A and B are shown apart, each in its own frame.
Chain A
Amino acid sequence: MGTTFTLPKFKQCEENKTTSENKINMTEEDDTAAMNFKIITKNLDLFYGDFQALYDISMDIRPNKVTALIGPSGCGKSTFLRTLNRMNDLIASVHLNGNVYYDQTDIYKNYDVIELRKRIGMVFQKPNPFPMTVFDNVAYGPRVHGIKKKNQLHDIVEKSIKKAALWDEVADRLHEPALGLSGGQQQRLCIARVLAVEPDVILMDEPTSALDPISTARIEDLIEELKQNYTIIIVTHNMQQAGRISDFTGFFLNGKLIEMGKAKDIFFNPADKRTEDYICGRFG
């Protein structure tokens, strides 16, 4: 195809270049860094009944970085994301082989699922605030984890909404139904709801695919800010978005992790022909 692919040049690309080169020595064989990995999957196979959705995925996720997972529809990137906080447990027919380590602990063997989901929060594709007030939405997580005191709840809610860059817009609407917010606000509310549980890792499953460009930009800015304190793994359909916000990018195809590396490398020097084809828009 004759189309030329140009990656939009954003500041963070430049910044990431320096930071990543200085701090993390990013090579496949680097074992000294293994202790620093937030999440490690080893030889992960996943089946929906007889259908194998993931093949032998081994991936290392670095803390306080944005890792983007890209790939065409049905390639297994969302499924992979959902194995990281065991959301696939909800589907009876799913079983998997291999290991997933979070902070060096095997989450499928030595981790309580409730505890795990507290540590690894998730933002979904469509903003889905519960049909209650803004306040109750954000307070939902802390409440189910046993926080009852009003002051404490209020502090958490305020802090979380501020972190999600939504405070200015909803400060005077805390006790109105959350469903009255706009789509972008709803998604940031969902992020605030996740933050209120004080997680360590945030998984995002195409968080902007249902939003307009302006809301998308705000969420992207937010992700940029959040990575100071959180490890973020984001699934996205939008390659420009992956290019803009991610530090590391993994390319999935037909249930396999084809290539994983620094975003810059994946987008400019893909090692695999298929990655290059996908990024250049030859299929997808």
Chain B
Amino acid sequence: MHKKQSPFISGYTRQVKLKEKIMKGLIWIAAGVTIFILFWIFGYIIYKGLISDITREYNVAGKGSTIFPLDEKGENEVICIVHKGIRAGDLSMQVIRSFYNGDERYWLVSEQGLKVRPFAPEPGTTFGQKTRQALLLDGEDYTRSVVFTDNDEGTINMVANTRGGIGIIHAENIHHPLIKKVRIVPVRFLSIVVNEKVLSIQNNVRLNSFTEDDVSNIFLSKVRNWKDIGGIDLPVTVISYNKDSYPGQQFQELVLGNRNPGIKAVFMDNIGQIGKAINNNEGAVAYCLFSDIHRDFPGKIAMVERREITPNISAHFLLEKPEKAGKAGGIFDIIINTLLMIIFTILLATPVGVGAAIYLTEYARQGKFIDVLRFFTETLAAVPSIIFGLFGYILFVNFFGWGMGLLSGTLTVTIMILPTIIRTAEEAFKAVPREYREESLALGATHWQTIKGVVIPSAIPGILTGIILGIGRAVGETAAVLFTLGSSPTLARDIFSSARVLSLHLYILAKEGISFERAFSTAFILVVIILVVNVSASSFAGKMNTLKKKS
């Protein structure tokens, strides 16, 4: 009786079930793709926003060293000190040179807009002479902003008290009592030099730069021919200082690392010999101090890539004002501008939008006209924001002559988010049970008393949802503010002053190629703001739903 039996199933049911399975599969695929894309986008923005991972090319290689030499003999060891406010992790000799010869006037290497204030020892002294030789190419002169100091203590004091200050002092003074007032920055000073031929073009192939691995592979004789690392077909000749010479030891320690075996190479004693050797061997590669390379040096400096992974968002980024068109500093002013715009927008849009919604739901006689009005409101909510921008530009900026500024921008964005607020508030008013109105009226309240006393309080969660959605739209707005709010990256002084907002800052950073890293960190802040806004919107919406359920 209880023999196992397949359950009865008709052919049609089987077909239907098969179809269901197929549809289910398709739906799962669609959902999977969506979820994947969502996670990917969010993950990417969060990753790029939090971590800056860039590969930069330098004409020095290896790690930085706190103590570095002025020449190959290593007799004059020095340290580089900077003002406490400078955030540079390390500096390359080339950057230091550019500070002293005037090529670079701002601390952009540490993403700061501060002016560089270089201090150098009096060139009359021996130490001054040596420093000058090491810092400048022959024929170059100190830039006019360089201030000379009599001794190391003077330098420390000056650097400690000058924002953006940088100075060079003897390495012996690393334990000087005043040294705590300044920051000591490690300096990278070893360059890789090659024969010109190595970097030349042949058969459309050219070696542009080395990776750090390339460098150690070359000097550990793992690369025998330049074509192995993407260069031309040319055997590699490694030239080196003697192992126990000062530069030899430094190279072993800073570039190769002490764990690696020593290098096999043609060994030389000084820069002159190295120059000659490079000149004589077409595939030659060598290393030397950056400061020893002078104009008549026969080799060429090879660029070395370094991958720099640093946090992309810091307190400084959030709390400093932008400088140098956003290259340096932070985004504080821009966040404030954004908040100002949002506050003004909400102050303008809420009363108007809620008023319009009250009219549409409570007072207007429902009919064709109101339907048409509602339809246009809905359409307006979907109109691309650039059109609002154009409209605002013509009306507020030109016709009223208010210029690009907070007033024009705010009004434009207000008009843009009004439809959203009106529609959401209208829905909220409609969701208020009819009985509330009837009960209130039956108690002898007037229409307005009913709206004020019962309808609006019950609809507040919905109205807030609309406002928050409006904020979400306003905060991400680029096109509408491009023409009307302007792009001055400073804090708005009055209602007519141009003020850049986050989204526009992001647009400009990316479009003008100022910094993709900073564009991403701005994007991250923007996403966080929108996320916060959305989460609060849904929590308000949730509150409204529970309210409805209870009643």
Residues of A within 8 A of B (CB): 85, 87, 90, 92, 114-118, 121-122, 124, 126, 128-132, 140-141, 143-145, 177, 179-180, 190, 193-194, 197
The answer to whether B551 touches A197 (Cβ under 8 A) is no
Q: How far is the CB of B446 from chain A (nearest CB, A)?
A: 6
The answer to whether B443 touches A141 (Cβ under 8 A) is yes
Q: How far is the CB of A134 from chain B (nearest CB, A)?
A: 14
Contacts of B441 in A (CB 8 A): 87, 90, 117
The answer to whether B435 touches A124 (Cβ under 8 A) is yes
Q: Contacts A128-B435, A128-B439, A144-B453 hold; do A179 and B550 have CB atoms under 8 A apart?
A: yes
The answer to whether A140 touches B440 (Cβ under 8 A) is yes
The one of A124, A129, A131, A145 that contacts B444, using a Cβ cutoff of 8 Å: A145
Q: How far is the CB of B208 from chain A (nearest CB, A)?
A: 70
The reply on B433 being an interface residue by CB < 8 A is yes
The answer to whether A128 touches B433 (Cβ under 8 A) is yes
Q: How far is the CB of A185 from chain B (nearest CB, A)?
A: 14
Q: Contacts A124-B435, A131-B458 hold; do A117 and B453 have CB atoms under 8 A apart?
A: no
Contacts of A118 in B (CB 8 A): 443-444
Separation of A114 and B438 alpha carbons in the complex (Å) = 13
Q: List 8 A-B contacts (CB under 8 A).
A: A85-B442, A90-B441, A118-B444, A121-B443, A124-B438, A130-B458, A140-B454, A194-B443
Separation of A129 and B365 alpha carbons in the complex (Å) = 27
Separation of A179 and B437 alpha carbons in the complex (Å) = 16
The answer to whether A132 touches B444 (Cβ under 8 A) is no
Q: How far is the CB of B429 from chain A (nearest CB, A)?
A: 14
Q: Contacts A128-B435, A128-B551, A179-B551 hold; do A92 and B442 have CB atoms under 8 A apart?
A: no
Contacts of A193 in B (CB 8 A): 439, 443
The reply on B457 being an interface residue by CB < 8 A is yes
The answer to whether B454 touches A130 (Cβ under 8 A) is yes
Contacts of B435 in A (CB 8 A): 124, 126, 128
Separation of A194 and B438 alpha carbons in the complex (Å) = 13
The reply on B528 being an interface residue by CB < 8 A is no
Contacts of A124 in B (CB 8 A): 435, 438-439, 442
Separation of A144 and B547 alpha carbons in the complex (Å) = 24
The answer to whether A144 touches B449 (Cβ under 8 A) is yes
Contacts of A144 in B (CB 8 A): 440, 443-446, 449, 453
Separation of A193 and B439 alpha carbons in the complex (Å) = 10
Separation of A128 and B433 alpha carbons in the complex (Å) = 9
Smallest CB-CB separation from A125: which chain B residue? B435
Question: Which applies to chain B's interface (DSSP): helix, strand, loop or mixed?
Answer: helix
The reply on B436 being an interface residue by CB < 8 A is yes
The answer to whether A128 touches B444 (Cβ under 8 A) is no
The answer to whether A131 touches B547 (Cβ under 8 A) is yes
Separation of A130 and B435 alpha carbons in the complex (Å) = 9
The answer to whether B443 touches A197 (Cβ under 8 A) is yes
Separation of A140 and B453 alpha carbons in the complex (Å) = 8
The answer to whether B449 touches A122 (Cβ under 8 A) is no
Beyond A116-B444, A130-B436, A190-B439, 14 additional pairs, beta carbon < 8 A: A87-B441, A114-B444, A114-B445, A115-B444, A117-B442, A121-B443, A122-B439, A128-B439, A130-B439, A130-B458, A140-B453, A141-B445, A177-B550, A179-B547
Q: Which of B283-305 contact A (CB under 8 A)?
A: none
CB 8 Å contact bits of B484-495 with A (1 = contact, 0 = none):
000000000000
Smallest CB-CB separation from A89: which chain B residue? B441
Q: How far is the CB of B548 from chain A (nearest CB, A)?
A: 9
**What are the nearest 7 A-B pairs in CB distance?**
A118-B444, A122-B442, A117-B444, A144-B445, A128-B435, A179-B550, A141-B443
The one of A115, A131, A180 that contacts B457, using a Cβ cutoff of 8 Å: A131
Q: Contacts A128-B433, A131-B551, A144-B449 hold; do A90 and B438 have CB atoms under 8 A apart?
A: yes
The answer to whether B443 touches A117 (Cβ under 8 A) is yes
The one of B444, B446, B453 that contacts A197, using a Cβ cutoff of 8 Å: B444
Separation of A144 and B447 alpha carbons in the complex (Å) = 11
Separation of A221 and B454 alpha carbons in the complex (Å) = 30
Smallest CB-CB separation from B439: which chain A residue? A128
The answer to whether A140 touches B443 (Cβ under 8 A) is yes
Separation of A79 and B500 alpha carbons in the complex (Å) = 61
Contacts of A194 in B (CB 8 A): 442-443
Contacts of B446 in A (CB 8 A): 114, 144
Q: How far is the CB of B451 from chain A (nearest CB, A)?
A: 12
Contacts of A145 in B (CB 8 A): 444
Contacts of B551 in A (CB 8 A): 128-129, 131, 179
The one of A87, A121, A128 that contacts B436, using a Cβ cutoff of 8 Å: A128
Smallest CB-CB separation from B452: which chain A residue? A144
Separation of A114 and B445 alpha carbons in the complex (Å) = 7
Q: Contacts A130-B458, A131-B547 hold; do A121 and B453 have CB atoms under 8 A apart?
A: no
Separation of A152 and B95 alpha carbons in the complex (Å) = 80
Smallest CB-CB separation from B458: which chain A residue? A131
Q: How far is the CB of A164 from chain B (nearest CB, A)?
A: 14
Contacts of A130 in B (CB 8 A): 436, 439-440, 453-454, 457-458
Separation of A232 and B433 alpha carbons in the complex (Å) = 26
Contacts of A140 in B (CB 8 A): 440, 443, 445, 453-454
Separation of A94 and B225 alpha carbons in the complex (Å) = 99
Q: Contacts A128-B551, A131-B551 hold; do A87 and B442 have CB atoms under 8 A apart?
A: yes
Separation of A130 and B440 alpha carbons in the complex (Å) = 9
Contacts of B438 in A (CB 8 A): 87, 90, 124
